[in-house]
Chain A
Amino acid sequence: MADQVSAGVPHNTPVEAELTFLAADKLVAWLAALAAREGDLLVPDRQAGTFVPWTGGEPDLAKMTATSAKGIVLPQHETFLSYAYDDDGKVAVTPRVADTPTTVFGIRLCDARGIRCIDQTFGENGPSGADPNYTVRRNLATFVAVACTPADVDAACFCATFGPADDFGVADVVVHPVDGGYVVRPLTEKGLAAAAVAPVDTGATVPEPPLPSQGTAIDIEGIEQKLLAHFDDDELWSDVTEHCLSCGACSFVCPTCYCFSIADEARGSECGDRLRSWDSCGFACYSKEASGHNPRGRNAQRFRNRVNHKFAYYPELYNLESCVGCGRCVRACPAAVDIRDMVEAVMRRPAPTKDGAKAEVTA
């Protein structure tokens, strides 16, 4: 793993650390200290709906950005190799990887839990072992999460479905808003390094931070079995997804969605790049085969796959739902599709019988 980490950037190792108190008027100074470190410092920009380089001033730490923080480790597009043909037609390939440390200040806990979900696929336990492009960005990133207060939660949030309020995901530091300032909680070695440059008030008594606020919890007890049992229930899937437009808004704003496509881009006749970019299982051509056959040609089939992936397949593989209940998909959807409606429709179906639910493939 040594050469996957830039020299001097600590790893994601968890630590037990003391909580400290940062006065509210010292927040900007902390950001300035973080910005002075090697690499980039990003803060939320609600206008832009994402995280942007800090250019000074108080950061906007209220509510969540329209898109998630997953772009830090899995950017919308990423060139992973460049190629060049020589005059004899032989090609040389240059594999590419990120190398800029990035501190992201002001992600939410749902972002931090979302990155934990994506870690499963792209990390060492994933289907093909650690993906270097992902793990390098992951190791170069320091995530400072801000705990939600009641004002930050809205009716689209349903994060309590997936875990307790003090599940900090893979945050390196959690910053809890309290009276007069923030309680700073380092959670990893990287977090310790980030907290070390915060002008905390070492003399102050550190107040006990409140539990982060959460959204609602919807019932998903036994949903994995129900989803598989009712896979062929065409009516279930056609009904609830009829207004879906098959765009990619939900997938792209989602903190846990990671599907990507790969394309070559010639930059002239002799050289170019191969890059991966975000893709969505909602798009009609997502699964379309070269022969023209499309196993998910109908929107209902695509949506069935989406919900099954999040609530059945991921739990089967990693004991973790691929959803953190942030509600971004609910807010982003232009067609009023609410994944909770689908989950509840499935939950209303009966549980499978003892001898299993799967009909035989008669082909």
Chain B
Amino acid sequence: MSAEITESQGTTAVKDSGGATVAVAVADAPVMEFAEAVALGLEKFGVVLGWAPGRDGNLAPAFARSAEQASALAFGPSAVFNPARYVRDHTPCAVVAKPCDTRSLVQMMSENMLDRDEVFVIGLRCPGVADMKKVVERYGWGARVEQVGPDWLVNGDKADKADLLDARCRACLRREPVIADVVVGEPVTPPAEAERFTGLPESMAERGAFWEAEFGKCIRCYACRNACPLCYCQDVCVAQARQPHWLTDEATPAENWMWQMIRMAHLAGRCTQCGECNRACPVDIRLDLLTQELGDTARELFDYEAGLDPGQKAPFVTYDKERDEWPIR
């Protein structure tokens, strides 16, 4: 979709070509330096969820409970993990969040999984992160990606940022956090167009073969489910249920497809397209195509975008008999 972006008074509204607002970023929180924001969060709740350098120098999820640990927190192109996933086990806490991560937080609030006052949101203005699977493919495991000035470096050499930019960031027009107690970073101009995830065959006949091959790869590790900030059910999930018994443990294309369809159905209207399930999959199944569809459908049918307004309820958990779309009166 193409968009007109207007900025006024620290908020960014994104309108589509028809003039309807398709995204609103709220940034009326004070802007401050990263270190200052982290110190504030640590003082308030004693733990800050974010990212810190791991073994190979790239960022990994981190939980800072002291000034020393907090000083290791950082942001950069390898901050691909969604810290909102960990918030539910750490409240009350502070969390460093990219705009996509803040949408997860808002959706959790909309669903009453998170109270606004039990999380201190350090919202980042975000230029996008790297597709780390592509980095590994191009440069090998352990290649270190970092941002220096406006450039992205891989192993110290300047790299093609546009090439390494994660597809989910290319699909995102949001550069401001949706919710924040404090904001960090320079304003970033969003792109004019959001790129869509591609790769889905045109014809239905080819699509069947495409998905059969994709779901032939699935090993039912449930990384997709466990990485999702909104899949709270975890081990009391439909996948483990015996009564009623929807799924076997057999990782056949049919059963795997059924698993993922149930999961997507449970996320319909709720998924914020954070992209973690797609990133988490160890066999690279194209879950991005499915979550994109969830977003498209929610927009088309219900003019709804998940994770923007904590006061709004997702379409499938609300019954509004006045809406024309509902076949049931």
- Which chain A positions have C-beta within 8 A of B54? 336, 338, 341
A–B pairs, 26, beta carbons within 8 Å: A49-B217, A49-B282, A49-B284, A50-B283, A66-B283, A67-B283, A76-B250, A76-B251, A154-B142, A246-B226, A247-B280, A248-B221, A249-B223, A263-B249, A275-B248, A277-B250, A277-B251, A283-B222, A284-B234, A285-B235, A332-B223, A334-B81, A334-B276, A336-B81, A338-B54, A341-B54
A335 touches B227 (CB 8 A): yes
Give the chain B neighbours of A242 by CB distance below 8 A.
61, 63, 86
| B141 within 8 A of partner (CB) | yes
User: When A247-B226, A261-B249, A334-B223 are in contact, do A156 and B142 touch as well, CB less than 8 Å?
Assistant: yes
Interface flag for A265 (CB, 8 Å): yes
Residue tally, chain B, CB below 8 Å to A: 40
Closest chain A residue, CB of each to CB of B252: A77
B234 near A246 (CB under 8 angstroms)? yes
Tell me if A48 counts as interface (CB < 8 A to partner B): yes
* Of the residues A49, A155, A275, contact of B56 by C-beta under 8 Å: A155
Inter-chain contact A77/B250, CB cutoff 8 Å? yes
> Which residue of B is nearest A48, CB measured?
B217
Bound form: Cα–Cα A311–B168 in Å? 39
Q: What count of chain A residues pass the 8 Å CB interface test? A: 41
Which secondary structure characterizes the binding site on chain B? loop
Q: Is the CB of B250 within 8 A of A247?
A: no
Residue numbers in A under 8 Å from B60 (CB-CB) = 243, 335-336
Residues of chain A contacted by B249 (CB below 8 angstroms): 77, 261, 263, 275, 277-278
Say which residue of A47, A246, A253, A263 sits within 8 Å of B248 (CB atoms): A263
Q: Is B216 an interface residue, CB under 8 A from the partner?
A: yes
Q: Which residues of A contact B55 (CB under 8 A)?
A: 338, 340-341
Contact status A248-B222, CB under 8 Å: yes
Q: Is the CB of A249 within 8 A of B61?
A: no
Q: Mark A45-86, 1 if CB is under 8 A from B, else 0.
A: 001111000000000000000110000000011000000000
Q: How far is the CB of B235 from chain A (nearest CB, A)?
A: 4
Q: Are the C-beta atoms of A247 and B142 separated by less than 8 Å? A: no
A214 to chain B minimum Cβ distance, whole angstroms, is 15
Is A309 located at the chain interface by the 8 A CB criterion? no
- Identify which of residues 196-237 in chain B touch chain A, using a CB-to-CB cut-off of 8 Å: 213, 216-217, 219-223, 225-227, 234-235
A 306-338 to B, binary, CB cutoff 8 A, 1 in contact else 0: 000000000000000000000100111011101
User: Contact flags (1/0) for A232-260 with B, using CB distance below 8 Å?
Assistant: 00000000001101111101110000000
Chain B residues 259-280 with CB under 8 Å of chain A are 276, 279-280
A280 proximal to B (CB < 8 A): yes
